[in-house]
Homo-oligomer: A and B are copies of this chain.
Amino acid sequence: MVVKSELKLIKSLQQKKYRNEHGLFVIEGKKSVEELVGSNFKCYGIFATAPNELNLGDSRVNLISAKELAQISSLKNPNGCLGVFHIPKKEMDILSDWIMVLDGVQDPGNLGTIIRLCDWFGVTDIVCSLDTVDCYNSKVLQATMGSIARVNVHYVDLDSFLRSTDLPVYGTFMDGSNINTYSLPKKGIMIMGNEGKGISSRVTELCTDKIAIPQFGNKTTESLNVASATAILLHEIRK
């Protein structure tokens, strides 16, 4: 059994405001919880309907009833396990050769997919504008499939960040130059914009190169989804 005040605290973490207030976030699902327990994230508590089914070494797991779990889960069909972790206090200590920069990405599924992609392609740092969706949002975490354990997501004022770098800054635009004609350097910054509006005008001014992924259809498709575009660009970066 879990005490009421604890259930209330965990449920409140569905809102960004309370995540920031308590410095905690929730991740759901066996695989994701196991990945985070084995990472640098500091664990606050693990709650499961069947603790023995988890592969967590020495970590203590709190037994929770299915009814209690349903109360605090953000999922329609909770899947038996939920972990609460501390939001790390991150230094802006960037180790990647390439840095992915997101300017106002709003859709949680897109951010989650981009985090998972960066993990696959070994880009360990994502720098987000302050209006990008929160990476500790439950839908983002769900889409990362545990990759949040291996990718650092920073939220900063992009303007100052980009002014302080010596790296080449690639921005993706509908009318940019064909990426296939570029030979990308070993280190750099790649900026992806908002789903509807693209890269903001202030950030556009700070791009050293404007690139695009060429379209081969009948020119009526509006745009590539930002996560699909990110997949292609990360692949190009690593070729």
> Closest CB of chain B to A182's CB: distance in Å?
12
**New A-B contacts (17) at CB < 8 Å, excluding given A150-B220, A231-B231:** A35-B220, A113-B228, A116-B224, A117-B228, A119-B217, A119-B221, A120-B215, A120-B216, A120-B217, A120-B221, A120-B224, A121-B215, A121-B217, A145-B221, A146-B222, A147-B221, A232-B235
Residues of B within 8 A of A221 (CB): 116, 119-120, 145, 147, 150
Q: Closest CB-CB distance, A95 to chain B, in whole Å? A: 12
Whether A225 sits at the interface, judged by CB under 8 Å, is yes
- Identical copies in the complex: 2
Q: How far is the CB of A57 from chain B (nearest CB, A)?
A: 17
* A213 interface hit (Cβ, 8 Å): yes
Interfacial residues, chain A to chain B (CB-CB below 8 A): 35, 109, 113, 116-117, 119-122, 145-147, 150, 180, 213-218, 220-222, 224-225, 227-229, 231-232, 235, 238-239
